[in-house]
Structure 1
Amino acid sequence: MTTERAIIAIPMGDPAGIGPEITMKSLAKQEIYDVCKPLVVGDAAVLEKAISIVEANLKINEVSSPAEGKYEFGTVDVINLNNIDMDQLVYGQVSAQCGQGAFEYIKKSVELAMAGEVKALATTPINKESLKAAEVPFIGHTEMLEALAGSNDPLTMFEVNGMRIFFLTRHLSLKDAIGVMTKERVHDYLVRCDKALQRLGVENRRFAVAGLNPHSGEGGLFGWEEVEEIKPGIEAAVQSGINAVGPVPADSVFFQALNGKYDAVLSLYHDQGHIAAKMTDFHRTVSITNGLPFLRTSVDHGTAFDIAGKNIAESISMEECIKLAAQYGPKFTNNSL
């Protein structure tokens, strides 16, 4: 029995960045169409230019709704917002029109997802400076999606080669991150992470929490955070029915997860999990935002203004991003976290 392919919305990102290029490179591969129905939300003229740059044998098919798409290899179905003046577009430069355009692609994609017309979003890079130039009141995707979808504190999860990583803290200095590593926060995040994996269709979920200090503090010899906050938080989560262990020393927990011992690791701070994921496979690391009413996957790199428009950018991360959206999208359940 053939599984119905899910429609995945792909907002094309900042027009002056590599988003349009990596999207066209990805959609020039049959394997993407084998697993989903990709629908690009963007500007048709920018995409035509991107096709020319990457020398792909693709044709644009403008549609007004997802239902009109052909979803055939060789044809790129596009909801064309027609909001970029090509005479003013310069690759690699901060631009208000590009920041506004990028926001509008995301907004339209969210509307489609909220209406149930697409199963998931696979997002391309946007530029914070361009958003600021356009006076868009958000610094990035997560904040934008949170506001547009009416959600609160979405969870970020990385996936690479089957390893999943959640983050207890994100954009904080290490000193500030340690200050919020409370037992209450550890407990709360483990419960939320368990629900997040459940929404993605993962059964029999087993978590490990990474240690903060060398050897997870060695019983207080190298720091008391594990003893006073992290371990009590894990124990409280276990009492709540979560299958979690730790803290497991950070120099081994990610290797163990990569080899299937755990379904996910809760990283305590930003770089701890980022380094583990990107050293595993930089190009195939994909970010998944959970806690929204819909699934969102994203490449884990920026607009790469220095190489935009030059047919240099790798599309591997974008391909993996679309594939994960196709994999999880049909399983995703919209239950409140």
Structure 2
Amino acid sequence: MTADFSDGADFRLDDGQRAAVLDAVVETLNNYVFPDVAATLQADIQQRRQDGGYAEVTGGEQCADILTLQLQELSGDRQLKVHFSPQPLPHIDPEAKPSAAELAVEQHQSSLRNFDINRVERLRGNVGYLELYGFEPPEFAGAAIAAAMTFITHTEALIIDIRHNRGGSPAMVSLLCSYLLPAYPAIHLNDLYWRPDDSTRQWWTLPHLDAPRYLDKPVYLLTSQETFSAAEEFAYNLQALKRVTVVGEHTVGGAHPGRGYRLHDHFWMFVPVGRSLNPTTGDNWGQTGIVPDVKVPSEVTLLTAHLIALNTLMETAPTGAGFRELQRTMLTVERELNTRRADLISQLKQPRAESTP
């Protein structure tokens, strides 16, 4: 029977357990997307073992933190990570496909979050706004996304907010990109190479959609340091095609999809096993992150993008009541933005509270 160590404070690694974890890490690195880097990491771990570098590592969290630090420092890959679990980990086949019942449970759980479609609305000045907390699979969220795109069809500009989006399904990335790009000819968006089976999957825009496409109108993407993985791919695809203006913060650069591997009853490891390759740039965002076209702090990103959108619309708006309404809206948004900026500056000038010993 495997012990359960509540919060992990009482867990202690003996020599045999520590050796088993290290062996499993070395073996699991054979799946890492960059073979030459994997070989360097494996050699480094084995050398440290020979030198007694892990002899004093006896805690669960301590072991996971040390291995993560070493792997990330040597590889430069912040996605490589070893995790400790106080509770015993189940034995799950990473190659096994979920059953119909399991998929139904996943879809129900996703529906409780509205498939990570957090907000859809019409902002002042007839600017659409779509906030996504994740990219759920099209088989779950396709109808909801179609409803959202139908709602904003008649707006004159669109803001898509992925500031709090940590990624998800590349198929949903392809679907949402398709709504912003022409049906014909199909556009090659991205390739994903998978090392475990040496395969490459291409992602293209889709010819048929369940709602009207959003074409020939300006689109703005909001990013932050939280924007990650598939959300970064969404921004990178559209930025490379010059379809969007990215407003916000520089992202961290998660371009290598992966999966978790069970190492031991209480340890598992996330390993990037794939690599994105954009056909337009011949590269990905792993080293650079997404570089915004307009760099502003996350706190003022939405107001900034809204103001830019209104300015753009005014350039082509005919004179008359509509133009005057845009002017009034732009002045209101500009005042709100200036107030928010002043608040941020004031907060930065405030002295930090010192902690008492």
After TM superposition, the score normalised by the length of structure 1 is 0.33
* Structure with greater contact order relative to length (CA < 8 Å, sep ≥ 6): 1
The higher radius of gyration belongs to: 2
